[in-house]
Amino acid sequence: MAQARKALSKTAAKKSGGRASARASVKTYHNYIGGEWVAASSGEYFENANPADTRDVVGRFPVSTVDDVSRAVEAARTAADRWGKTPAPRRAELLFRLGEILIRHKDAYAADMTREMGKVLKETGGDVQEAIDCTYYTAGEGRRLHGFTTPAEMPNKFAMCVRQPVGLCGLVTPWNFPMAIPSWKLIPALVCGNTVVIKPAEDTPLSTFNLVKACEAAGIPPGVVNLVTGYGETAGRALVEHRNVRLISFTGSTETGRVVASACADRNAICSLEMGGKNVIIVMEDADLDLAVEGAVWGAFGTSGQRCTASSRLVVHKKVYKQFAKKLVERALSLRVGDGADANVDMGPVINADAVHKIMGYIEVGEREDGARLACGGNRLEKGEHAHGYFIEPTVFTDVEADMRIAQEEIFGPVTCVIPASDLEEAIEIGNGVRYGLSASIYTADVNRAFRAMNEMYTGIFYVNSSTIGAEVHLPFGGTKGTGNGHREAGTQVLDIFTEWKSVYVDYSGKLQRAQIDEVNFE
């Protein structure tokens, strides 16, 4: 996949590259290792093109090798002891400074992000805001990082638990939230006293570059944060397999996550995974249909459907099914597709040529499914303002059955499936009938049904009368089944990823006391 993206970037660059002056103005970026901005040892660069217009090359980024990753790991190892011993409230002070820098540059970062990954400016502003929220919220943990005390079973003995840093963390991130997701990992890792090497997705290195540059400006010491850009199969793999990296925090596809988990298992590294989703909105017959349609449109077509929490299945009670589908199609047809930098655009492009190929492939699969009906969309847009980008129409399939491939597999594009259900029980069964377990929602006016669905949907996130997207940083984020491996990011729960517990016993009895063996005298 990454090699295909590489070819894509080169193609994109060639499209613009006939014009030498345009090429000369393309900015070259570097890795950040041990506090220095350095080229990759390969001397090679990949080009990052704007998915709304591939003639626009955003920048050239280092193709990092195993050697570059090793140097970054060594820098993080050298910095680990000092940073780990810096009092957490002091570490947090630098993070608050980072938060201020992010606020100051929010608009510029959002514009860069729209240019490199396509989503509309309002959404990229939200992405940067999420990084800001995460920074302030998690930096606050510098003055908490709570452990606990508990009674010991012997007299004159004290028992407590404290958190300690994990050590050196490798962070591997996807392209769809190119500043928010790196921040969800980076900020907790730092406040907990770890040093990091981060490898961003090859399609969106600029947003992570901006975040790391802001860390430098905030005064985070050299070696504490290191950035290596490049391809998953080389740089990502080298990081995941490096014997000195104690923890890998990965967000991406379930397929890559499996490879990452197995590499971590081989060397007994800690591994937290956030992976794919096939999320569901359940619409009951008593729901406010207009509200449900708005939620479905936002959930299915926000970020061009490229969210792990995208509303890719809409399970609708048969009594309101036709009405809902009609309203949904009307709204989908009204969405304006184009360059996310244009304030009048509702939905931007998809990320790259591979994504177009995959999504159009699923649309063909849907059209072939016996019974499913393509109710709107289904085409790539390639003329006029769309001629040089990766645009796909908002697409709705109706009369979908729960076991069809389009209702089971993560499409990760602007495609949603409407599935009829006879009652709540069936809707919940359909909702749970996929291999993922990230987000689910119900639209209903009946509190009993809302609570029943909340209780019975086996997902990490659940909404009532709201879409499947819109997580907030102070609540845990993650999923069950094929979406995760039991960890949660965000909230205070993320601290359990980036710290290890140490149980401490202090015996002040002045004699040998043997737990589980010595009798306690009750007299």
Residues near ligand NAD (CB under 6 A) are 1-2, 172-177, 181, 199, 201-202, 232-233, 236-237, 240, 251-253, 256, 259-260, 274-277, 308, 410, 412, 438, 479, 483
In whole angstroms, what is the distance from residue 42 CA to residue 31 CA? 12
CB of 332 or CB of 490, closer to ligand NAD: 490
Q: How far is the CB of 195 from ligand NAD (least distance, A)?
A: 19
Length of the chain: 523
3-state percent breakdown (helix, strand, coil) of the chain, nearest 5: 40, 20, 35
In whole angstroms, what is the distance from residue 251 CA to residue 173 CA? 5
Q: How far is the CB of 452 from ligand NAD (least distance, A)?
A: 25
Q: Which of 315, 257, 266 is nearest to 431 (CA)?
A: 315
Instruction: Answer for the pair 337, 321: CB distance below 8 angstroms, yes or no.
Output: no
| Residue spans of alpha helices (H) in 418-462 | 424-432, 447-456
Active-site entry in 47, 274, 410, 489: 274
Kind plus residue range of the DSSP H or E element containing 183: helix 180-191
What residue type is assigned to position 56 of the chain? D
Token representation of residue 452: 């029943």
Q: How far is the CB of 266 from ligand NAD (least distance, A)?
A: 13
Q: First-to-last CA distance in the chain?
A: 72
Q: Which of 460, 428, 466, 459 is nearest to 444 (CA)?
A: 466
In whole angstroms, what is the distance from residue 103 CA to residue 110 CA? 11
5 in helix, strand or coil? helix
- 252 CB-near residues (< 8 Å, 6+ apart): 172, 173, 174, 201, 260, 274, 275
Q: How far is the CB of 173 from ligand NAD (least distance, A)?
A: 6
CB of 84 or CB of 182, closer to ligand NAD: 182
DSSP state for residue 204 in the 8-state scheme: -
DSSP state for residue 208 in the 8-state scheme: H
In whole angstroms, what is the distance from residue 389 CA to residue 23 CA? 19
CB of 55 or CB of 185, closer to ligand NAD: 185
CB of 250 or CB of 391, closer to ligand NAD: 250
Active-site entry in 169, 308, 376, 417: 308
In whole angstroms, what is the distance from residue 259 CA to residue 2 CA? 15
The residue number whose beta carbon is nearest to ligand NAD equals 232
Concerning whether 74 is annotated as a catalytic residue, the answer is no
Q: Which of 181, 87, 198 is nearest to 128 (CA)?
A: 181
CB of 114 or CB of 312, closer to ligand NAD: 312
What residue type is assigned to position 148 of the chain? F
CB of 185 or CB of 388, closer to ligand NAD: 185
Concerning whether 274 is annotated as a catalytic residue, the answer is yes
What residue type is assigned to position 225 of the chain? V
Beta bridge partners of 376: 396
CB of 203 or CB of 285, closer to ligand NAD: 203
CB of 376 or CB of 461, closer to ligand NAD: 461
CB of 221 or CB of 476, closer to ligand NAD: 476
Ramachandran assignment for 145, one of left (phi > 0), alpha (psi -120 to 50 degrees), beta (any other) = left
Q: Which of 289, 275, 354, 280 is nearest to 310 (CA)?
A: 280
Instruction: Answer for the pair 355, 390: CB distance below 8 angstroms, yes or no.
Output: yes
Q: How far is the CB of 425 from ligand NAD (least distance, A)?
A: 28
> Any idea which residues carry the catalytic annotation?
274, 308
